[in-house]
Chains A and B, each alone.
Chain A
Amino acid sequence: MFVHFAVQAVRDLARTLKPVARPVDRVRSDDEHLHAAITWLQRSIDVCGGKASSKGYRVGHGWLPPYRETSGYLIPTLLRVAASLSRPEFGHVADRVGDWLASVQRRDGGFSEEELGPERHPVVFNTGQILHGFNALVIHRHRSDLLGPARRAGDFLLECMDASGCFVRNTSHGIVHAYNVRTAWALYTLGTITGDERYTHGAVANADWTLQQQTDQGFFRQNQFKPGGNPNTHGIAYVLQGLLEISLLSGERRFADAVRRSCERIVSIHGAKRRLVAEIGEGGEFLSDYVCLTGLAQLAIVQFRLYALDGDQRYLNTGLNLLDEVAASQNVLATGSPHYGAIKGSEPIWGRYAPLQYPNWATKFFVDALLTKKEVLKRNENSLPVQLPAG
């Protein structure tokens, strides 16, 4: 354990101090990165008995308990892997995760994280991400038996909204979050599946509330994870992905336009500074020195999606550069080790975001980004389907 940390720490320190080896030299083929990442995700599920995905691997602790929220939004990723890489076994894995999540749903339709701590109250964001999993299974595995749990989750989410569309009840840490628009995306998808306009209207109302949080600089107010914390790229990307996908589903251009405003800023900030640190203020200022690899992978997805939509090569370029940074951090050599194929929370590994951890969602978004890149580059511009099975 200490050897692992020491090796990783020295490597990260060297990369932080001076990039003697260029990231590009550490980047292998997409297939190699994908294979390693999928192997790690499979392992994270195996250690939880095949029914859920471990929250991650922590140096000095080992595998963590199942995380319902991220197991939920891992389902669309598993289904994409099954379809894109002809690995049907991942479809069955997704089914089992969906079954388990349905079995732990609260009576009120919400989800709490009982495996991770004593707190028992349901949380909007976690419920929304699990709803992404149910939606994907209903759409792609024709699991109509999960429509009930999905509706109950959707009703719970509507109950948590106020008249302006803001999720004000059962929020994480008791504060409102702009990034909950990623939950609204799941709600919108549920509306399209069921034909129930309460869900789509609720989702659009939340997206409109989120737009009101956008600053002139393209970033978002009320986007901290915890009171007093700084917004980070992980949360910013949640907002952008939620808004963009709602825009594509609903045809409401104002949401995509807001994403473009943000992405223009991200393109110029990353282009000029050649890096994107984890914590970024509402005005685009850097508030930390470490990098959140999860956030980079998520932002790469948004950039690829915008490129597919607009054909603007700058988005593609930024997406490729961000994804290279994440890929360069992945261990694709130590096949026997528990972090083979995993993506760290932070670079360097002691950064404030999930320190000393390989959270499962970092690897999930890395896989999503690689698959999105593959799909986007395969298709002609403007022909991207509205509904990608990504949650």
Chain B
Amino acid sequence: MRIAFLFNYPLVDNTPWKQQLLLELAARNSLFVVFGKAGLKDHWQGYLRRAQEDDLRQGAKTRTLATSTRRRTVSVVKELGIPYRTVPNVNDDDCIRHVSAFGPDYVVTALDHILSRRAIDRLPVVLNVHYGVLPDVRGWNATEWSLLVTGRMSVSLHRVVVPVDSGEIYGTRDIAVEAADGLPGIHLRCQEAALDLYRAFFSDPDRAIRQARPNNGPGKTYYKMNWRLKKQVAEMIRESRLSEAESTTA
């Protein structure tokens, strides 16, 4: 198979699940990676955005640049001999041209922004893992919104279409939420589930696509969650009262 990957922030991206996926797929497939948001300004803006989103008040300090204990994804890409390109934005014509020239069967995305309709239309099957309960919770901060609105958590691999997070679902993993987890712990479990979902998909893509579930339920699109609600979610996790989620207020 020929698989293209769209990632961002090559100078700092060090996410283990992406690296593991590249490692596992590189042996038997032809891979190609495009890193968007490659400029210093993009990295600074990304850092600020993460800082804006993090709720430091509750101690969930996740705004880290690359740490010395982890390797950067771009280093792994180089070591594996995977061809890669950097572009200002994966929605740019340049990116679409590079990916089209590679001729992938599938495109794996892990981005912090929406892929444009134009890019989606011009690429083959585009995949994404959504860290939230589909079809109920689409959009941003989906983990927090899922916990607040549905009182549970799951992760789904789905096809990227317009509108956001509404493409057919190829696989779902429920995520257990334990009081000791905290939001960072839940995010970690989500990443493990993402890796597992991609493994399952790429073990037999045709079957996964044949058995896809529709994603057209009565869901809503959610946006950046206010820090007060995030704090409430963190407290709910801590106090293990997620089942009461729907009846609580901030």
Q: Is A268 an interface residue (CB 8 A)?
A: yes
CB distance B226 to A271 under 8 Å?
no
CB distance A314 to B224 under 8 Å?
no
**Chain A residues in 8 Å Cβ range of B202:** none
The verdict on A19 contacting B223 (CB below 8 Å), with A313-B149, A377-B250 known, is no
**Chain A residues in 8 Å Cβ range of B220:** 312, 314
Complex formed: what's the CA distance from A271 to B138 in Å? 12
CB distance B48 to A271 under 8 Å?
no
Binary flags per residue of A270-305, CB closer than 8 Å to B gives 1, else 0: 111010000000000000000000000000000000
Q: Is A321 an interface residue (CB 8 A)?
A: yes
Complex formed: what's the CA distance from A312 to B223 in Å? 13
Scan residues 225-265 of chain A and give those whose CB is less than 8 A from a CB of chain B. Answer: none
Interface of B is mostly: mixed
The verdict on A313 contacting B229 (CB below 8 Å), with A18-B48, A22-B52, A377-B249 known, is yes
Across the two chains, which residue of chain B brings its CB closest to A23? B52
- A271 CB contact (under 8 Å) in B139, B227, B249: B139
Q: Is A69 an interface residue (CB 8 A)?
A: no
Q: Is A175 an interface residue (CB 8 A)?
A: no
Q: Is A20 an interface residue (CB 8 A)?
A: yes
CB distance A270 to B223 under 8 Å?
yes
The total of chain B residues at the interface (CB under 8 A) is 22
- B225 CB contact (under 8 Å) in A20, A267, A274, A317: A317
**Chain B residues in 8 Å Cβ range of A314:** 220, 222-223
Complex formed: what's the CA distance from A318 to B225 in Å? 8
Complex formed: what's the CA distance from A317 to B222 in Å? 9
- A320 CB contact (under 8 Å) in B51, B52, B228: B228
**Chain B residues in 8 Å Cβ range of A20:** 48
Q: Is A316 an interface residue (CB 8 A)?
A: yes
Across the two chains, which residue of chain A brings its CB closest to B223? A271
Q: Is B148 an interface residue (CB 8 A)?
A: yes
Q: Is A324 an interface residue (CB 8 A)?
A: yes
Binary flags per residue of A43-72, CB closer than 8 Å to B gives 1, else 0: 000000000000000000000000000000
CB distance B223 to A320 under 8 Å?
no
**Chain B residues in 8 Å Cβ range of A272:** 223
- A268 CB contact (under 8 Å) in B51, B221, B226: B221
**Chain B residues in 8 Å Cβ range of A267:** 223
Across the two chains, which residue of chain B brings its CB closest to A317? B226
Q: Is A24 an interface residue (CB 8 A)?
A: yes
Scan residues 305-341 of chain A and give those whose CB is less than 8 A from a CB of chain B. Answer: 312-314, 316-318, 320-321, 324
How many pairs of A and B residues are in contact by the CB < 8 Å rule? 50
**Chain A residues in 8 Å Cβ range of B229:** 313, 316-317, 320
Scan residues 111-159 of chain A and give those whose CB is less than 8 A from a CB of chain B. Answer: none
CB distance A24 to B223 under 8 Å?
no
* B233 CB to nearest chain A CB (Å): 11
CB distance A24 to B227 under 8 Å?
yes
Complex formed: what's the CA distance from A274 to B141 in Å? 13
Binary flags per residue of B218-250, CB closer than 8 Å to A gives 1, else 0: 001111111111000000000000000000011
CB distance A317 to B223 under 8 Å?
yes
Across the two chains, which residue of chain B brings its CB closest to A322? B226
CB distance B48 to A268 under 8 Å?
no
- A22 CB contact (under 8 Å) in B51, B225, B228: B51
* B59 CB to nearest chain A CB (Å): 14
CB distance B250 to A19 under 8 Å?
no
* B188 CB to nearest chain A CB (Å): 24
Q: Is B140 an interface residue (CB 8 A)?
A: yes
- B226 CB contact (under 8 Å) in A18, A19, A312, A324: A324
CB distance A320 to B250 under 8 Å?
yes
Binary flags per residue of A4-21, CB closer than 8 Å to B gives 1, else 0: 000000000000001110
User: Which of A268, A270, A313, A320 has the most CB atoms of chain B within a 10 A radius of its CB?
Assistant: A313
In the A-B complex, the 3 residue pairs with the smallest Cβ-Cβ separation, listed nearest first, are A271-B223, A320-B226, A22-B52
Chain A interfacial positions (CB closer than 8 Å to B): 18-20, 22, 24, 267-268, 270-272, 274, 312-314, 316-318, 320-321, 324, 377, 381
Query: Can you report 23 A-B residue pairs in the complex whose CB atoms are below 8 A from each other?
Result: A19-B48, A19-B52, A20-B48, A22-B52, A24-B227, A271-B222, A271-B224, A272-B223, A274-B224, A312-B220, A313-B149, A313-B229, A314-B220, A314-B223, A316-B249, A316-B250, A317-B223, A317-B229, A320-B226, A320-B228, A320-B229, A321-B226, A324-B226
Other than the given A18-B48, A317-B222, A320-B229, 12 more pairs (CB < 8 A) read: A19-B48, A19-B52, A267-B223, A268-B221, A274-B224, A316-B250, A317-B223, A317-B225, A317-B229, A320-B250, A324-B226, A324-B227
